Structure 1
Amino acid sequence: MGATQFLERPGGRLAYEVRGQGPLVICSPGLGDLRSTFDDLVEPLVAAGFTVAITDLRGHGESSAHWPSYTETDVASDLLGLAETLDAGPAVLLGNSYSAAAAVIAAANEPSLVAGLVLTGPFVRDQPASLVSAFGRWLITRRWIGRRVWNGYWARLFGPQKPADLARRRRLLAANLAEPGRFDAVRAMLRSGHHTADQALPDVTCPTLVVMGDADPDFSNPENEARYAAERIGGPAEVLIVRGAGHYPHAECPDCVAATAVRFLQTLCFNSPTTP
């Protein structure tokens, strides 16, 4: 991977790295996760002729730990700020979960900076909560036990097709979230809703690819959720359902997601590269 760089933002600094040369794709993970979630997706995108920037969320990974707020709109602003800093033309925003919602808001707010969206496991609207899920969410947001609950819950978000190095990823994530202030970001993001992203969907006019694992435990019906997002988006949208994948299809089945993402990216109307 490339060397870690930092982008100064109001309230903190974002860690990111860049590889490749060509049209810009910015990858951003879900809450309570690290930018390394995209490790297996970067190489196919770079090989296809794209510049790929992967960033840690505010409060996560190598980004600074203490920020004044952690809303999806804040993350959208961070993604747009990185796109402007890299100055490689309109970017494709590839966001997972919480970052998928932020990418939607970014595309709606600044369409001139966003050429397209790839949304994996997107949380773009509030989900009905059962008593069990509501209690689990409450536990995760508790200071005294939340981090341990999240570490266990995170591993269960993967479907049957788990990455071979899942145990290593889990150890790295647990160590990062144990650093002072980091789990505060997770707690804050979990407490915020997705109303802004839901309202922004019709204002997105760029092409969008929605990627959903059919075994995603965060949704009662993952396929319906993917189609809801695609149908509400104002621009052209398509859906990829990854069989046997959970909430992180880009990490669980990177070859499948990369093949569809590369084809999608090359159809966008902005100096699309040709596959070598």
Structure 2
Amino acid sequence: MVTAASLDVPVSRRIDIGGITLNVREAGDGPLMVFLHGITSNSAVFAPLTSVLSRRFRTVSVDQRGHGLSDKPATGYRARDFAADIAGLIEALDRGPAILIGHSLGSRNSVTAAAAYPHLVRSVVAIDFTPYIETEVFDALEQRVNGGDQLFADRAAVETYLARRYPNLPAAAIRIRAESGYRAVDGGLRPLAAPAAMAETASGLREELESVYRAVERPVLIVRGEVSTLVSAAALAKTARLRPDLPIVVVPGADHYVNEVAPDITLKAIANFVDA
């Protein structure tokens, strides 16, 4: 049994939410704060945030379906599927409504969950994903995602690959990804993220999102990295015109991986938002 006393340090466990089992990392006690990572990633990447926020909140970082140590069904990688997972998890934890902190894929899923299940969501921090992302950006993303399913000789080879793929990530963030995102197989290491699931998830990121942003009524903070190549300045401006009531934070010098590149600024943005 997971208790508040046992959550002084993160605890990893699998939670059956009905139809799928999700792996989570929990820490702290207090209001529920759920963290949802980007495509091909996993729950461990939020450690720099949860190590601080777990002093005030019950932080629950999720391996989303198809990723990490969670189940990897053959189908079910649309926004509505991920949103249903979020709702099921909040209900299973029985501590809602939750503050959702989502990056990229997790941002899309968090806003979708807030629109579809408003009684389970208190607010959303939506990091570097908005409607209006350009087609050519999604084309490049799919190419990168599908190219990540490789066999690596060892952990050093993984770190070398990740450092090339994510040139702005600090060395500590690269180590977290290398240590948490791969499994031993014959001949070396392979990503935990399932290749077929990643392909379907990447395709699903092209789903229309404008109606979701129009519909969401819970508070949403939009965060963009100043030099993000996923969310262009034009896409952000168009989103601001769609929902001028939603606050926006642009993180100086950060690329798409805002919470890993600039955790201190991300923490300040989250604190200011949830305390407002």
Query: Normalising TM by the smaller chain, what interval?
Result: 0.7 to 0.9
Does residue 1:226 correspond to 2:226, yes or no?
A: no
**Which position in structure 2 is the counterpart of 1:273?**
none
SS of equivalent to 1:217 = coil
Q: In the superposition, relative to structure 1, how do residues 136 and 248 fare at CA in structure 2: closer, same or farther (>3 Å)?
A: closer
Q: Residue 10 of structure 2 aligns with which residue?
A: 2
Counterpart CA distance in 1 for 2:171 and 2:140 is 31
SS of the residue 1:64 aligns to: coil
- Which residue number in structure 2 is paired with residue 121 of structure 1? 128
CA offsets, 1:116-169, max 9 Å, x none? 110111144442317xx736734744xxx55249x8986566464x22324423
For residue 14 of structure 1, what is the aligned residue in structure 2?
A: 22
Counterpart residue type for residue 242 of structure 2: R
The DSSP-based 3-state class of the residue aligned with 1:92 is strand
2:213 aligned residue: 201
CA distance in structure 1 between the aligned counterparts of 2:170 and 2:192, rounded to whole angstroms: 28
Between the aligned partners of 2:223 and 2:201, the Cα distance in structure 1 is 22
Shift of the alpha carbon at 1:203?
0.8
Question: Per-residue displacement from partner, 1:30-88 (whole Å, max 9, x unpaired)?
Answer: 110011111101122123x2221110011111112334321121111111111111122
- Corresponding residue number in structure 2 for 1:147: 149
- Paired position in structure 2 for 1:271: none
Distance apart, 1:224 and its partner CA? 3.6
Total equivalences in the alignment = 256
Unaligned runs of 5+ in 2: 1-8, 152-157, 184-188
For residue 5 of structure 1, give the secondary structure of its aligned residue in structure 2. Answer: strand
Give the one of 104, 107, 111 matched to 1:104: 111
The one-letter code sitting in structure 1 at the alignment partner of 2:99 is: V
Looking at structure 1, the residues matched to 240 and 136 of structure 2 have their Cα atoms a distance apart, in angstroms, of 22
Q: Counterpart in 2 of 1:50?
A: 57
TM-score, with length taken from structure 2: 0.81
- Equivalent residue for 1:238? 247
Residue among 247, 259, 265 paired with 1:256: 265
Check the 8 A contact 1:98/1:123 in 2, yes or no: no
1:134 equivalent to 2:139? Answer yes
Is 1:29–1:97's contact at 8 Å kept on the other side of the alignment? Answer: yes
Cα displacement (A) at 1:193: 3.8
Moved over 6 A (4+): 151-154
CA distance in 2, matches of 1:217, 1:74: 26
| Cα offset, 1:179, TM superposition | 5.5
Compared CA separation, residues 116 and 135, structure 1 to 2 (3 A) = closer
Q: Is the 8 A contact 2:35 2:59 kept in 1?
A: yes
- Mapped to 2, the partners of 1:255 and 1:129 lie a distance apart of 31
Q: Counterpart of 2:67?
A: 60
Q: 1:211 aligns with which of 184, 199, 223?
A: 223
Kept in 2: contact 1:29–1:99 (CA 8 A): yes
TM-score, normalised to structure 1's length?
0.81
Aligned 8 A contact 2:133 2:230 in 1? no
Say whether 1:91 aligns with 2:98. Answer: yes
Tell me the amino acid that sits aligned with residue 169 of structure 1: I
Query: For residues 171 and 161 of structure 2, what CA distance do their matches in structure 1 show?
Result: 18
- Looking at structure 2, the residues matched to 227 and 88 of structure 1 have their Cα atoms a distance apart, in angstroms, of 35
